A = this chain, B = another copy of it.
Amino acid sequence: MKINHIVETQQFTQPLLMELFDRANLMKKIVARGGTKDYENKIMTSLFYQQSTRTRFSFESAMYRLGGKVITTEQAAFFSSEITGEHLEDTIQIIANYCDVIVLRHLEAGGAKRAASVSPVPIINAGDGAGGQHPTQGLLDLYTIFSELHTLNGLNVAFVGSLDNGRTARSLAYLLSKFSRIKLYFVAPKEMQIKPDILEHLDENNIIYTLSDSLEGIIDQIDVLYQTRFEVERFPNVNFDYSKLKTDTSVLQKMKYDSIIMHPMPRDIEISHSVDSDKRAAYFRQAKNGLYVRMALLSMLFDGN
């Protein structure tokens, strides 16, 4: 299937997701044997208007494991010494002369779409604003579930944390709605609950879900515990006992033997470090999957273009 840019999660149909995951599995094998040189003539630009070293490193490692090269800035807002805040479309049309793909982290929702509309080389959206998208994160999260549990059907998935503007939880919920017999649990103080647009989408797709502010009565049934930050700083007036939503060893004891715990990182206080050594703690493997999925996406763009 041919894709020209990776701008939003909605581009990914179920067949395209399966093609992507097949390719990610292949990339896992390629990394294990030391990478490939198949894309050694390709140059990737990391064009970051905001620091996000974790995401940048993941993409750059992916490009290197594919044999390619990388040009990078985390200060794209200060792109030139003459004008601060140059027109994004101009910047893209200049940079496109120097590379074969642009990984863009922008500050405004819709930035990636604007870039894609003028770019002669593929754009990959690496996050565009708080209200925007970060599709590769959603894809690597879905791949992690697939890779750990060997299916995407019939799963019970709980999302915990500040879900209202949690880009990662929103994207993953959206992607899971493409599969069957899915049950979702949104667990957050009511002020931080998932927004109605996602629930409407789930209703349209006949996905069962519940809203609550506690893991009580849920924790022993879930296959995936997707923990995110509480972002307490955004809710100074909310009086909530966040310890109820933390994952620690006592929570582990109630979880199914073959369940997994995920986190998009960085972690604050929401998962105890004592959980790390449990085999169900999948968040560091999740980071590794980001490498495979990004290699798969880059190679799909290169092969199709």
A73, CB-defined interface residue at 8 Å: yes
Interface size on A, residues (CB 8 A): 51
Contact check, B266 vs A80: say whether CB atoms are below 8 A apart: yes
Q: Which of A61-112 contact B (CB under 8 A)?
A: 61, 64-65, 69-71, 73-76, 78-83, 86-87, 89-91, 93-95, 97-99
Min C-beta distance of A99 to chain B, whole Å:
6
Contact status of A266 and B52, CB under 8 A, knowing A34-B41, A43-B61: no
- The chain B residue with its CB closest to the CB of A276 is B93
Q: Mark A39-75, 1 if CB is under 8 A from B, else 0.
A: 0010101000011111001101100110001110111
Among listed A202-210, A247-255, A284-292, interface-contacting one: A284-292
- Residues on B with C-beta less than 8 A from A73 are 53, 57, 74
Complex interface residues of chain A between 263 and 285 (CB less than 8 A to chain B):
265-268, 273, 284
A35 within 8 A of B: yes
Task: Report which of B78, B89, B268, B288 forms a contact with A97, defined as CB distance below 8 A.
Answer: B288
Number of copies: 3
A73 to chain B, nearest CB (A): 5
- C-alpha spacing A268/B70, complex, angstroms: 28
Question: Is A229's CB within 8 Å of the partner chain B?
Answer: yes
Query: Are B94 and A265 in contact, with the CB atoms below 8 A?
Result: yes
Other-chain residue from B58, B80, B290 in contact with A54 (beta carbon distance below 8 A):
B80
Please indicate the chain B residues that have their CB under 8 angstroms from the CB of A80 in the complex. Answer: 51-54, 265-266
Residues of B within 8 A of A51 (CB): 75, 78-81
CB-CB under 8 A from A52, the residues of chain B are 80-81
Q: Assess whether A58 is in contact with B98, with CB atoms less than 8 Å apart.
A: yes
A50→B81 contact, CB < 8 A: yes
Of B60, B86, B287, B288, the contact of A71 (CB 8 Å cutoff): B60
**Distance of A81 Cα from B54 Cα, bound (Å):** 9
**A35–B41 CB distance below 8 A:** yes
* Separation of A97 and B86 alpha carbons in the complex (Å): 35
**Hey, which chain B residues are within 8 Å of A57, CB to CB?**
45, 71, 73, 95, 98
CB-defined contacts of A273 to chain B, threshold 8 Å: 87, 89
Minimum CB distance partner of A86 in chain B: B266
A99 proximity list for chain B (CB < 8 A): 61
Contact residues in B for A69 (Cβ distance below 8 Å): 64
Are A54 and B79 in contact, CB atoms less than 8 angstroms apart? Answer: yes
Q: Which residues of chain B are within 8 angstroms of A81 by Cβ–Cβ distance?
A: 50-52
Q: Which residues of B contact A75 (CB under 8 A)?
A: 51, 53, 74
Q: Mark A12-43, 1 if CB is under 8 A from B, else 0.
A: 00000000000000000000001100000101
> Per-residue CB proximity of A282-305 to B under 8 Å, as 1/0?
001001101100000000000000
User: Beyond the given A51-B78, A57-B73, A57-B98, could you list 6 further A-B residue pairs with CB under 8 A, ordered by the A residue number?
Assistant: A43-B61, A45-B57, A53-B76, A58-B98, A80-B265, A97-B291
